[in-house]
Amino acid sequence: MELISSKHLLTNLLVIIASTFTTHSANKGTETPYKEANTVFIRTSCSSTTYPRLCYSSLVKHAELIQTNRVVLTGAALNVTLASAKSTSAVMSAMAKRRGLKPREVAAMKDCVEVLNESVEELRRSINGMSDLRRSNFEMTMSDVQTWVSAALTDESTCMDGFEESEMSIDGTNTKSRVRGLVVQVAQLTSNALALINQLANHA
């Protein structure tokens, strides 16, 4: 099992990933054997997740940082998920303030944002837990992280319950469909992160 010796590798992932989450464009040049080994590691790790293509595409841009370290891979997956959840929450908060939604729909949107924010907090807890991961506390920490990420996934799954049967629209745009797409991506990223967490736990 590969445990990193310092916190800053996982902690700095949040800054690195947040800054590249929406702006990064992948290099298409020929990979060196070193880089190829990193990408193969990510692809292999992602192959057992529920959404392997999304897993790979969301993590391969960080291959140089991840290398072949399972702990850093898991931290990267959590940070990517956190960045997506925060972005989705911000978009939904802005959408709830726009004209054209009924009061009931606005309330449902705000409830969804509140639940999604709870998911954000659970993901933050898991990242903090991973940054303190040691051989001496491995089993307890991994159990806590699994619990927090599972709770985050549950929060995301229930986010849409308040307006599931309504047909929201603003300026002719199906708002419900857009919200669903945003939340579904966060949930898929969370599911993938949980799968990688389980992999790490099983490789102890």
Using CB atoms within 10 Å of the CB of residue 35, give its burial: 0 to 12 exposed, 13 to 18 middle, 19+ buried: middle
Q: Is the dihedral of CA 56, 59, 62, 68 positive or negative?
A: negative
pLDDT in tens, 109-160: 888 899 999 999 999 999 999 998 888 999 999 999 999 999 999 999 888 6
Please give the C-alpha separations between residue 67 and each of 38, 126, 204, in angstroms, as whole numbers: 5, 21, 19
Q: Locate 196 and state its tokens.
A: 């990688």
pLDDT in tens, 24-70: 434 444 456 667 899 999 999 999 999 999 999 999 999 999 999 99
CATH 3.40.50.20 fits 8-202, yes or no: no
Q: Is the pLDDT of residue 11 over 50?
A: no
The domain spans of the chain are: 8-202
Q: For 90-115, what is the mean pLDDT?
A: 83
pLDDT in tens, 16-29: 443 443 334 344 44
Residue-by-residue DSSP string for 152-199: HHHHHHHTTGGGTT---EETTEEHHHHHHHHHHHHHHHHHHHHHHHHH
Q: Locate 2 and state its tokens.
A: 């590969």
